[in-house]
Structure 1
Amino acid sequence: MERYPEIGDHGLIGDLQTAALVSGDGTVDWFCCPRFDSPSVFASLLDADRGGYCRVAPVDGHVVSRQLYLPETAMLITRFMTEGGVGEVVDFMPVAGTVPTDRHRLVRMVRTVRGTMRFTFEVRPRFDYGRAPHKLEMFDEGAVFAGDGMELTVSPVGSGHRALDVHRDGDDLLVELTLDEGESAGVLLESMGGRPHRVPLAELEHLAQDTARYWRDWVNASTYRGRWREMVTRSAIALKLMTYAPTGAPVASPTAGLPEQVGGERNWDYRYTWIRDGSFSIHALLGLGYTEEAAAFGRWLRDRTMESAGSSSGPLKIMYRVDGSSDLTEETLEHLEGWRGSRPVRIGNDAADQLQLDIYGEALDAMYSAERGGIGIAHQAWLGLTDVIDWLCDHWDQPDEGVWETRGGRQDFTYGRFQCWVALDRALRLAAEHGRPADVARWTIERDNVYRQIMSRGWNAEKGTFTQHYGSDVVDAALLLMPLTGFVTPNDPLWESTLAAIERELVSDSLVYRYNPSASPDGLRGDEGTFSICTFWYVDALARAGRLTEAQLVFQKMQTYANPLGLFSEEIGLTGEQLGNFPQAFSHLSLINAAVSLDRRLEERARRCG
């Protein structure tokens, strides 16, 4: 067995407050508790020896494994095929609800569907990223791991007449069992669950039925009936799994430290809520008819705009914890070797204090879309929003760190500037369409000033393209959002020339790099893969430009890079491997937006031709 599975060789399960990754060989190798951003219980994905894991596997013979989801659910099935039979483990987490809790359940149900199979469960937690020791206490009904304020209760679930062989392995736990065709057993893992108890198999089956019903009801609430529905549905479930239900805040990814380049240093902690990612998610959720989820994040975003951060980065920080707090101090876990030696492993994120002006455009565009979707802005929220826009009028004309959170110093990034134009434009529309009080004259002047500046300084006439920042000749894929936000029209010659430059320099067989690090030093060593969100932006840009056949081909090519479960990480490597934190909300929300946009335009073409 490989010490480290491929990043993409995983499925995601969760209970809407935290989540776990399950590798293709049946190992839970990433699980933080009680929240996404809490310390880890299992983290062998970042250190095979020190991280801890929970594995279910057949004991004998050569094993071939495959994974799939129970249709229209977040319940993961890992199937094992051996010479003696076929078995499978069903992994899921019963939904925790909208009230924060320290008690979370992870259910691992195993069964033999053909022949006879011997299985072993290994439970080897390593609390606090492997930094905290633990003690194991055995009971007749199971065991309890305790350490550093965290407990993990393990309750083995027998299969009728068959007894489970439960024993210690040092301070870890082993459970062994043999199942004939049609027999089932399992293990219930509970954080802060107290003493283990006898759990009838029927209880786990009941939990499974309830969990499946929850997800199918949620999926059936979608209004999307267009093309690629299975891929869109899986992306929607992934987004839901990455959303913290008590506040409605989505995390960028449930993982930390997975590299953008194998062996490189671009290894970040993404278990937080970015203003940018969350704002984009509103468009995706509204596009599928999920107004309740869009409204929940809208309330979270409203609360942030009504706060006064009092920092040099402006009234909004670029990211927060899921509860809205902003203590994201970055530290390096020196004792962890990282996935396949990719160090350093970081937790926390010092980019939280960067100045990234684009977040105001993304937030205001999301609020505008939400209001047009029937999610209104209350009076106090509007007053807080006007304060934000007034601040932006005073501060838009300054260098920032940019959308890609570079660590090479501030620049006058074109993307940040045109998103300032978006913020002012959407604020003016929100004021005009509902007669809200606003300094309309000033906002209009500053909006127009931003526009004129971008056209005079963001355009490189010699190269024939808008550039990454003023005075450069570097092309940036973030500029693909220019026509998507209405800053330019898709048939504007300036944009057509920019799109051609992006295609020449950043597109590789439909996949899109965000920029060329060697041409635009970003303060970090090494290279990276293509960015999946940029590829989906490219699909949308092609569709809006009327190049529908090309857009459809790029979109369908991109689907071939998903893992077998339909999940995407942040980036795609040279040979098609998933890179970066996994799965990535950015990738899935942009897939949804591209699918909705492309499907609508294909339908319009069909009606015209029909």
Structure 2
Amino acid sequence: MNTLDLALIGNCSIGALVDAQARIVWGCFPRFDGDPIFCSLLKPNEEAGFFSIELVDHERVEQHYLENTAILVTRLHDHHGGVVEINDFAPRFGQYGRMFRPTMLVRRIQRITGNPRIIVRLRPACDDGNGRPTITWGSHHVRYATPSQALRLTTDVSITAILQETPFFLEDTATLLLGPDETVHESTAEVGRRFFEETALYWREWVRFLGIPFEWQEAVIRAAITIKLNAFDDTGAVIAAMTTSIPEAAGSARNWDYRYCWLRDGYFVVNALNRLSATRTMERYLSYIVNIAADAAGGPLQPVYGIDGRAKLEERIVPGLAGYRGMGPVRVGNEAYRQVQHDVYGSTILAATHIFFDNRLTRHGDKTLFQRLEALGEQAVRCYDQPDAGLWELRGSARVHTFSAVMCWVACDRLARIAERLGLAGRMVYWRSHAEHIHKTVIERAWSESRGAFVSTFDGDAMDASLLLLTDVGFLDAADPRFAATVTAVERDLKRGDFIFRYVEKDDFGTPENAFIICTFWYINALSTLGRRDEARALFEKLLACRNRHGLLAEHIDTNSGEQWGNFVQTYSMVGLINSAIRLSIRWDQAF
């Protein structure tokens, strides 16, 4: 049975998920939102859509990441004392003055002891699981051609053994390079060795310059590498997750395609990496959102865009994939692009604010960029008190959501601060006036006297977890008693065991069954803000224990069993881990 006990490998061009038996079960080519040629995660008990390396007479397996890298190490043991080690990765390193990140997966298989025999089964699918590629071969390669692309496996393994999936003795090291349909002019073994060494060096150097907290270092490093892998270097977009249609709960039909860039999620990701001093991803993302804003030409922003910046993400059901554990439907595309979500203006301007204040960045904000952002601010002013789908993307209803209004306030507040930074006194007064008006309106209409707390919608009485962010975005002071009262109300309404639900009201798909993981991290941060650090630290440790064996998190969690659900790996969840660790850790100068 498929589970989310998976490891992520990638290079910021492609990504793949590897299961506990060293079987690649998910991977899209030629980029994150491409055709899933490895799709057995959503096509159980089928004969295609995976890439396995199997040890004959297999007994047990050990698996871990190579320290401070995105390279996965799997050791397979047989009943006779034979051991093989598999190194799985996608090459990423500097070369010729630029980043080398080909659409390639590398699998290096080394004999450690004994006389192990292995079987290589490479069975790509195509057309969203509906078809199989045309296969041709040469002396040292196998070519897999689909209507949209062609991939080539270059190897020093017997081509007959690959094609016929026959077992063979592993004498020393075998190398498998699956990538573009191009001739490899060097020795396959030498290319694999060099790519391995250069990729390991790249990741270790990247990690070495992270500004990590003293406590929970390993967890934070793994989270940082993971969200870095979800950033698409070519455009700067950040995807919400590598997968589509992993359901939020068993049989829920809450199955969505997350292989796109939500402006809200992107902001949280780059802000977390920036706090760790990994500024390059943020700079690339800023270029992405500036281009998105320019294309909007002063009109409304969508909540989500393609990783290439395209606006239309038409949603369709894919009949060739049965779904995770057979729980369909499987969707490609996401109708959320049609939704109205007013918080996007605050998220976009928050991300761009860094470029005006962070002197580490190579590019600095100027009056021209500020004027582009002002168009988004005008949208925020127009829509802050208008109904929308909210950050939880309700498909069947629209209300005036408190978080959306607060983020419209954020847009105006940050524009006022940027204007002051640029010496534009008139514009600073203009945006400060709008911010004050929106702030006053939210206070009047989102505060419930009967609940003694802020509520999720204007003039409503229900709670949602986004209210835990009121101090994080600067809307309320941490010492404001209204924030403590709101946290208490969230605890009372949304806490189930150790976890916080995003909301508990019945929606288009029924009552939510599992907890949205990021919300519990928000709650941990709120506890810390209120001085309840011991509670926060204890809950943080419990949440860390819910990660899979590789330190990774999906979107949702079953509050009873602890099983993870939802798309994987979820950037939002990994960002929550980083932010809470930074907030809760003792300082380095207090550690010794």
| Same topology, TM > 0.5 | yes
Q: Deviations over 1:30-64 (max 9, x none)?
A: 11111101111111111122651111111214x32
Does residue 579 in structure 1 map to residue 556 in structure 2? no
Aligned to 2:499: 511
Q: Deviations over 1:498-551 (max 9, x none)?
A: 1111112222343221111xx2x3212463421121111112111111111111
Aligned to 1:178: 169
Is the 2:107–2:175 Cα contact (8 Å) retained in structure 1?
yes
Is the 1:19–1:36 Cα contact (8 Å) retained in structure 2?
yes
| Mapping 1:294-333, distance limit 5 Å | 294-308=282-296, 314-333=299-318
Q: Distance between the aligned counterparts of 2:515 and 2:213, measured in 1?
A: 30
**TM-score, length-scaled by structure 1:** 0.90
Aligned to 1:129: 128
Q: Which residue type is aligned with residue 579 of structure 2?
A: N
Q: Distance between the aligned counterparts of 2:496 and 2:325, measured in 1?
A: 26
Is the 2:26–2:37 Cα contact (8 Å) retained in structure 1?
yes
Q: Distance between the aligned counterparts of 2:113 and 2:558, measured in 1?
A: 38
Change (3 A) 1:328 1:437: farther
Change (3 A) 1:290 1:256: same
Q: CA deviation at 1:132?
A: 3.7
Q: Deviations over 1:478-497 (max 9, x none)?
A: 11100111211223221111
Q: CA deviation at 1:114?
A: 2.8
Does residue 58 in structure 1 map to residue 55 in structure 2? yes
Aligned to 1:33: 29
Q: Distance between the aligned counterparts of 2:100 and 2:38, measured in 1?
A: 19
Q: Distance between the aligned counterparts of 1:454 and 1:331, measured in 2?
A: 38
Q: CA RMSD in A?
A: 2.4
Change (3 A) 1:50 1:476: farther
Deviates more, 1:454-463 or 1:440-449: 440-449
Deviates more, 1:320-329 or 1:397-406: 320-329
Q: Kindly, what percent of the aligned residue pairs are identical?
A: 33
Q: Distance between the aligned counterparts of 1:204 and 1:50, measured in 2?
A: 28
Change (3 A) 1:567 1:207: same
Is the 2:500–2:520 Cα contact (8 Å) retained in structure 1?
yes
Aligned to 2:89: 92
Unaligned runs of 5+ in 1: none
Aligned to 2:145: 146
Change (3 A) 1:605 1:222: closer
Is the 2:142–2:159 Cα contact (8 Å) retained in structure 1?
no
Is the 1:103–1:193 Cα contact (8 Å) retained in structure 2?
no
Is the 1:50–1:130 Cα contact (8 Å) retained in structure 2?
no
Is the 2:175–2:188 Cα contact (8 Å) retained in structure 1?
no
Q: Distance between the aligned counterparts of 1:436 and 1:301, measured in 2?
A: 23
Q: Distance between the aligned counterparts of 2:163 and 2:524, measured in 1?
A: 54
Does residue 78 in structure 1 map to residue 69 in structure 2? no
Q: Distance between the aligned counterparts of 1:192 and 1:438, measured in 2?
A: 58
Is the 1:50–1:126 Cα contact (8 Å) retained in structure 2?
no
Is the 1:407–1:524 Cα contact (8 Å) retained in structure 2?
no
Q: Distance between the aligned counterparts of 1:79 and 1:101, measured in 2?
A: 28
Change (3 A) 1:604 1:102: closer
SS of the equivalent of 1:116 reads: coil
Does residue 495 in structure 1 map to residue 459 in structure 2? no
Q: Distance between the aligned counterparts of 1:99 and 1:322, measured in 2?
A: 21
Q: Distance between the aligned counterparts of 2:100 and 2:335, measured in 1?
A: 27
Q: CA deviation at 1:225?
A: 4.6
Q: Distance between the aligned counterparts of 2:356 and 2:521, measured in 1?
A: 25
Q: Distance between the aligned counterparts of 1:114 and 1:343, measured in 2?
A: 43
Aligned to 1:14: 10
Q: Which residue type is aligned with residue 438 of structure 2?
A: V
Aligned to 2:163: 168
Does residue 340 in structure 1 map to residue 325 in structure 2? yes
Q: CA deviation at 1:212?
A: 0.5
Aligned to 1:595: 581
Is the 1:102–1:191 Cα contact (8 Å) retained in structure 2?
no
SS of the equivalent of 1:592 reads: helix
Aligned to 2:179: 190
Deviates more, 1:139-148 or 1:563-572: 139-148
Q: Distance between the aligned counterparts of 1:102 and 1:208, measured in 2?
A: 13
Is the 2:110–2:174 Cα contact (8 Å) retained in structure 1?
yes
Question: Aligned pairs, how many?
Answer: 584
Q: Deviations over 1:572-602 (max 9, x none)?
A: 1231111111101111122112222222xx4
Q: Distance between the aligned counterparts of 2:156 and 2:117, measured in 1?
A: 15
Is the 1:99–1:246 Cα contact (8 Å) retained in structure 2?
no
Q: Deviations over 1:111-150 (max 9, x none)?
A: 2323222111101111121234421113221311112131
Q: Distance between the aligned counterparts of 2:426 and 2:56, measured in 1?
A: 69
Is the 1:264–1:343 Cα contact (8 Å) retained in structure 2?
no
Change (3 A) 1:100 1:88: closer
Q: Distance between the aligned counterparts of 1:64 and 1:505, measured in 2?
A: 45
Deviates more, 1:250-259 or 1:441-450: 441-450
Unaligned runs of 5+ in 2: none
Aligned to 1:68: 64
Match of 1:397 among 363, 385, 388: 385
Change (3 A) 1:436 1:34: farther
